[in-house]
Structure 1
Amino acid sequence: MPESISAEEVIAHFDTVSFPEYDLITGHQIEYPQTEFGGFKLDDPATYHHEVLPNGLTLIVKSLPDNRVFAVNVLGKNRSANEAPQKAGITDFVNRCLEKGTTTRNARQLADDLALIGANVTLYDNPWIPYDDRYTTRRYSFMKFETIDDYAREGLELFSEIAFEPSFDSVEVEKVRRSMMAVLGRKTGSPRNVARNLFFESLFAGKAFSQPIMGSPRTIGSITPADLKQHHAGFYSPENVIVAITSGKPIDTVLSWARDILGTRPSTGYTSATPETPAPLTTSLTAHTELEKEQIAIYLGGSLPGANSEESVALAIASSILSERLYLTLREREGLAYSVGSSITFYRNFGWHYCSMATASENYQKAIDGIIFQIEKLQLDGPTPSELQRAKNRIWGRLMSAKLSAINQAYYLSVDNYLGRSTNHDQQLLADLAGVSVEDIRRASRYFRTSDYILATAGKMP
């Protein structure tokens, strides 16, 4: 509470103040203030450093004096591309084993030592929280660590041990395997998860991105502790990781620690596989998995240019506008959807998009027609100026909101580097957002194909 206002004054104010009352059943015109994109400014007082250590590890450090949190994100490059088809899901398996013990500490000791410095470690998304998979992707893996700056060096040493010196104890490996099998069993009954995996199988047929991130009961059941050790040694070798650190400590101090702790790890000569571009579509492809459900999940989309294309920002805005339209029409106005939206993802030289929707089985064709209609309407008419402004505000606001925490700042620094972007990408993004016009959206939306697309569905087909 502001020091100039006492609690008694606040109570007295609300005892006497009156507020207008509106009967929303009979209707009332509520005027909202106009929001204009372009008023946003990014004043970034942080300092940055980027280098590749002699062992091949990519290191990014962000120092912000007012920050009191020490946060680290480790990004493993090209997750699915570096998994053999018969071992799909092995990276997820590895990450789930990291917290189960290192070469010098067992799981209980690790938990105790992390608690002593108030540290948090996140190695995979929580499968029991709906939609808690925003960071899980076929492109890369992540490991997140945060503690307070007072324990920065101690924390970096402990996290480095967790990330790079796991024991893969056979007893703990079997516990992790059982938990993964339970999650996989639950996912096989989810129309949303089944349809999404089917979409990737169709779009990336015969390529690494066709594999499910978590694997299958067959692949997870076949992976041995020796397989885990071998995959970890290569995939998380210095040459294949990006480490981003945010802290209030001076850059030189953090660099000294990182070089001592991370830079002394031996390089392995590991050569990372790169994802393959999806084959161009000349006609629509459909795939369906029948499930004993009363609903059906729909994924409709295709491939796009990559993160570094001139149209990437316009494509992101177009997807946001389309998502809003789908929600307002198919869910709110027509009541067809349990959930609906448009999503877009970029790799360096290609990307993909899909419109996803969950609906009652009897609404299937209406849903497909509704999605295609909204895509074609955006292509023909383009967005209104207010839609364009809202989408720009939404993209920028959500990104800045996501970056409020130090750990997410580290996460996005590593992702930007992975995608070939600079450490000041936010400044460039702000300028690019401001420059996108209505015509740019109309032109970019033509990548959302309505005559040659992937249609993946799971559930009860009418």
Structure 2
Amino acid sequence: MPGLKTLALTVAVRGGARWENETRLGWSHLLEHLVFKGAGDMGARDIVERIEAEGGTINAATGYERTSFEVRALDGSLGLAMQVVSDLVFRPRLDPAEIEREKDVVAQEIAEAFDTPDDHVFEMAQTKAFASQSMGRPILGSVESLAPVTRESIGDWRARLYSPDRMVVAVSGAVDEAELLALAERWFGQAVATPAEAPEPATFTGGAATLSRKIEQANIVFQLPSVSATDPDLPAMRLFTEILGGGMASRLFQSAREERGLAYAIDAYQEAYEDIGVLGVYAGAAADRAVELADVCAGEIRALATDGPTDAELSRAKAVLKAGLWMSDESPASRAGRNAAQTLIYGAPVSSDDSAARIAAATADDLRRVGQRVLATGLSATSVLGPKAAHAAGAAFVKGLAK
């Protein structure tokens, strides 16, 4: 990206919580923590100090389908960034004492997520959407599932999870291609691939979850099966989601908040996994108005799927999504992360021009069709966390969809 003084490095691997079974629940996330406790010739403090001494930052994240390591740094720091991340993924120390300490740290993280209603309610919905599957288990795992981890077992899991044949190195910003290729060969080219079993295909099962909590607001999530990352209808589904609840001009914001005052926070989202997707709605509402809110949400989904969008709504949604593409292009970190993820999914990055063309080509009929695809399954996953008076919202949402 000409003219920039910084760069962004993303090293992403196609592997995460979805590759786990019940006996390894949470191991991928724990491993991501552990590699920062020492790798190569670096201790935990050395890792961050080497990056920060050059004005950079380093972070990592574990998801269901990908684990990513990210470095932001000044021009000229690519060699250091590549060396540090290479040590993290291929040469972590995995000291037994650190493993036991980090189990306690993750236990606190698990407790924090449980204590945060607008986090835990999503976990509840995911568990119902993908019951008895790795996609429905918490990424953080549990205290019990992490207890058996040893240096040998987590080392074996690292070799399987961080296998270079499922890894992408992406850099954006102040980077020279020849330098990048030489560094990639030096720091990643000698790694040995370790085959791992492919995860089982995901199936949206659906169900309802409630949890009483003495808090002021009810936290509510409604989920419906949607399209995957490779489905040709993904652009139409993203437009559908944007019109439904993507911003202040969206149907849900206007009908639930502005017209009825049912919720302060309400939005819709689309999660596109490799072989399945989820259309979701999150809202925070007063417990005694949760049922009314659920009926409004179901009604807006049904109406958009039946009648389609107006011309103005479709035009606005296309402008918003295209603006997001261009804004992402102007951020080295966003570009590196997006290119890495797309290469893992599609085999190569997808240009913003191509993505914008697919968005522009979507019609109102396309949005009606994807909406009908969502409703045709008859499945939903609902979760309500908060006062007991709100617990009927899940059933009200299901009833509202069937009207």
**TM-score normalised according to structure 2 size:** 0.88
Query: 1:15-94 alignment to 2 at 5 Å?
Result: 64-94=1-31
Distance 2:2 2:330 in 1: 15
The alpha-carbon deviation at position 276 of structure 1 amounts to 1.7
1:305-360 alpha-carbon deviations (Å, 9 max, x no partner): 32222211001000110002111221222121132111111123321111121212
Contact 1:72–1:246 (Cα < 8 Å) also in 2: yes
TM-superposition CA deviations, 1:196-245 (whole Å, max 9, x none): 11222222112210111111232234433333222112101212322212
Distance in 2 (alpha carbons) for counterparts of 1:154 and 1:201: 40
In structure 1, the residue matched to 2:384 is 457
Question: Structure 2 CA distance, aligned partners of 1:388 and 1:421?
Answer: 30
- Partner of 1:433: helix, strand, or coil? helix
Name the amino acid aligned to 2:210. H
- Aligned counterpart, 1:386: 312
Distance 1:372 1:179 in 2: 40
Counterpart-to-counterpart distance in 2, 1:169 and 1:331: 52
- Deviation string 1:3-60 (CA, Å, 9 cap, x unpaired) is xxxxxxxxxxxxxxxxxxxxxxxxxxxxxxxxxxxxxxxxxxxxxxxxxxxxxxxxxx
Alignment of 1:162-173 (within 5 A): 162-173=88-99
The corresponding residue for 2:185 is 259
Alignment partners' CA distance in 2, 1:236 and 1:317: 34
Q: Could you tell me which amino acid in structure 1 is paired with residue 114 of structure 2? A: T
Partner of 1:448: helix, strand, or coil?
Answer: helix
The one-letter amino acid paired with 1:343 is: Y
The percent of aligned pairs where both chains have the same amino acid is 20
The code of the aligned residue for 2:252 comes to: L
Instruction: State whether residues 299 and 455 of structure 1, in contact with CA within 8 Å, keep that contact through their aligned partners in structure 2.
Output: yes
Q: 2:128 is matched with which residue? A: 202
Contact 2:221 2:281 (C-alpha < 8 Å) held by counterparts: yes
- In structure 2, how many angstroms separate the alpha carbons of the residues matched to 1:247 and 1:380? 44
Partner deviation per Cα, 1:384-414 (whole Å, 9 max, x = no partner): 2111111112112223323432122111001
1:253-309 CA deviation, whole Å, 9 max, x = no partner? Answer: 3112211221012223x2242352214x6xx73222232333222221222232222
**Are residue 309 (structure 1) and residue 228 (structure 2) matched?**
no
1:90 counterpart letter in structure 2? W
Is the CA contact 2:26–2:145 (under 8 Å) kept in the aligned structure 1?
yes
Between the aligned partners of 1:91 and 1:402, the Cα distance in structure 2 is 28
Is structure 2 residue 42 aligned with structure 1 residue 105? yes
| Residue aligned with 1:456, SS | strand
Secondary structure of 2:283 counterpart? strand
**CA distance in 2: counterparts of 1:144 and 1:76, whole angstroms:** 12
Partner of 1:214: 140
Kept after mapping to 2: 8 A contact 1:301/1:448: no
Shift of 1:417: 1.4
CA RMSD of aligned residues (A): 2.1
Matched, 1:285 2:285: no
Residue identity matched to 1:147: A
Question: How many angstroms apart in 2 are the aligned matches of 1:118 and 1:194?
Answer: 35
Decide whether the 8 Å contact of 1:204 with 1:210 is kept in 2: yes
**Alignment partner for residue 230 of structure 1, among 142, 156, 159?**
156
**Is 1:140 aligned to 2:86, yes or no?**
no
Counting matched residue pairs gives 384
CA distance in structure 1 between the aligned counterparts of 2:354 and 2:213, rounded to whole angstroms: 45
Q: In proportion to residue count, which structure has more helix?
A: 2
Return closer, same or farther for 1:215/1:315 CA change in 2, 3 Å cut-off. same
Consecutive unaligned residues of structure 2, counting only runs of 5 or more, are 390-403
Worse-superposed segment, 99-108 or 362-371: 99-108
Aligned twin of 1:274: 199
The structural deviation recorded for 1:184 is 1.2
Aligned pairs (5 A) from 1:394-433: 394-420=320-346, 422-433=348-359
Alpha-carbon distance change, 357 to 249 in structure 1, aligned in 2, over 3 angstroms = closer
- 1:331 equivalent to 2:257? Answer yes
In 2, the alpha carbon distance for the partners of 1:164 and 1:407 equals: 23
Cα distance between partner residues in 2 of 1:194 and 1:112: 34
Report the CA distance shift for 1:440/1:353 in structure 2 as closer, same or farther (over 3 A).
same
- Number of the residue aligned with 1:190: 116
Bigger shift: residues 411-420 or 313-322: 411-420
Provide the rounded CA distance (Å) in 1 between the counterparts of 2:171 and 2:381.
39
What amino acid does structure 2 have at the position aligned with 1:293? Answer: I
Q: What stretches of structure 1 of length at least 5 have no aligned partner?
A: 1-63, 125-135
Pick closer, same or farther for the CA change 1:285–1:109 going to 2, 3 Å. closer
Shift of 1:421: 5.7
Mark the structure with the bigger radius of gyration: 1
Distance 1:386 1:420, change over 3 A: same
Partner of 1:321: 243
Shift of 1:247: 4.5
Secondary structure of the structure 2 residue equivalent to 1:419: helix
Amino acid at match of 2:383: A
Distance 1:137 1:321 in 2: 27
CA contact (8 A) 1:308 1:348 kept: yes
